[in-house]
Structure 1
Amino acid sequence: MKATEVPAIAGAYLFEPTPHADERGFFCRTFDADVLRSVGLDPGAFVQDSLSRSARGVLRGLHLRSGAGEAKLVRCSYGRVFDVVVDLRTHSPTFRGRAFFELSDKTQVTLYVPAGCAHGFQALTEPADVSYRIDRPHDPAEDVTIAFDDPELAVPWPLPVTSMSQRDRRAPRLADVLRREGS
């Protein structure tokens, strides 16, 4: 497994597994505590795993947590997604930086999203399963959502949105979130 820094988001990493393929399919390691430690991450900090399944065109995000934030490891375990990270850490050298990725079951690449960054994705296949490993138990009172279509972010979503939650549909613009969060 190889760790690669994401230049547009300070502290973000892509973890690329080494698949072993044969006539049966493939096998690969998707989590390696030693590799996380090698880039300064504590593998024991992750306390909760979750999974989402989305139909093609479904958009989830852009989400983050208030307070101490939430770091997460994100991987598309089945299908393909267009994945987005926005750095909202005011003291970060990449504050307001954006990074876009295609995560897929073909590569099984895991994305590390640092606390204080917004995250979202759009399913490109029917279906797409996304696995999350987060470093704090989820507290809905700390959920923050940013408008997926905020012109300041200009995220190039690849497909028309077929479905999204009401919370995501009613999300405020980035400027309003930053004002409210005191950034």
Structure 2
Amino acid sequence: MKIKPTQIPDVLIVEPTVFGDSRGFFFESYNHRMFQEMTGQTVTFVQDNHSRSELNVLRGLHYQIRQPQGKLVRVVFGEVFDVAVDIRRASPTFGHWTGTYLSAENKRQLWVPPGFAHGFLVTSEAAEFLYKTTDYYAPEHERCIRWDDPDFDIRWPLNGRPQLSAKDEKGVSFKRAEVFA
């Protein structure tokens, strides 16, 4: 496993060691001890989630204001452009975002720590997205910031308007959002 920093030091790209031959491939998608040693993060994952979305579906920018979730995310089919936005007021990177492509082909994962809003855009015909979380889903604490908030100026690789859920259509501006202290 290799760990690569992003423009925001707390958000990390995790690249597994992949063993492949004419039969296919094998890799360890998660190893608790190795993750802790290589990232310096002591985390316990309590929930695994799996979603499937079609081309041009954009999910996010989501977070939980209480019971904040750290997420280790990856794609097992297709490709997405994945984004993490620092919404920790005391952070030197408050309001900054970082993005990377995750795909079944590159097998990369992204570590998004608690205190970040997270979203992704499907850039292939379809994508299946898996993520481990450090706390349980708590819909009463879930919040959504607009994907197109001008304060972030996220450069989504879009052709036209994305497909959004009703919840994401109602996302609030960053200026009005609840953030972490």
Report if TM-score (shorter chain) is over 0.5.
Answer: yes
Q: 2:96 is aligned with what amino acid?
A: G
Conservation of the 8 A alpha-carbon contact between 2:50 and 2:130: yes
Q: Does 1:80 align with 2:79?
A: yes
Mean Cα deviation higher: 30-39 or 70-79: 30-39
Deviations 1:30-73 (A, max 9, x none): 11212211122234x10000001000000000011102411110
Q: Does 1:19 align with 2:33?
A: no
Q: Where does 1:123-142 land on structure 2 (aligned, <5 Å)?
A: 123-142=122-141
How far apart are 1:93 and its partner, in Å? 2.2
**Runs of 4 or more consecutive aligned structure 1 residues displaced over 4 Å after TM superposition:** none
How far apart are 1:18 and its partner, in Å? 1.3
TM-score normalised per structure 2: 0.93
Conservation of the 8 A alpha-carbon contact between 2:87 and 2:180: no
How far apart are 1:162 and its partner, in Å? 4.2
Backbone CA RMSD of aligned residues: 1.5
Conservation of the 8 A alpha-carbon contact between 1:59 and 1:161: no
Partners in 1 of 2:136 and 2:152 — Cα distance? 28
Q: Where does 1:106-145 land on structure 2 (aligned, <5 Å)?
A: 106-145=105-144
How far apart are 1:111 and its partner, in Å? 0.5
Structure 1 stretches lacking a partner, 5+ long: none
Conservation of the 8 A alpha-carbon contact between 2:73 and 2:131: yes
For residue 165 of structure 1, what is the aligned residue in structure 2? 165
- In structure 2, the CA distance between the partners of 1:23 and 1:182, relative to structure 1 (3 Å rule), is closer
The SS at the match of 2:92 is coil
TM-score normalised per structure 1: 0.92
Q: 1:25 is aligned with what amino acid?
A: G
Partners in 2 of 1:20 and 1:10 — Cα distance? 28
Q: Does 1:4 align with 2:4?
A: yes
Q: Does 1:148 align with 2:147?
A: yes
Count of matched residue positions in the alignment of Structure 1 and Structure 2: 179
The SS at the match of 2:56 is coil
The SS at the match of 1:129 is strand
Deviations 1:117-173 (A, max 9, x none): 010000011210110100111110010100011111111111234421101011111
Conservation of the 8 A alpha-carbon contact between 1:86 and 1:97: yes
Q: Does 1:35 align with 2:14?
A: no
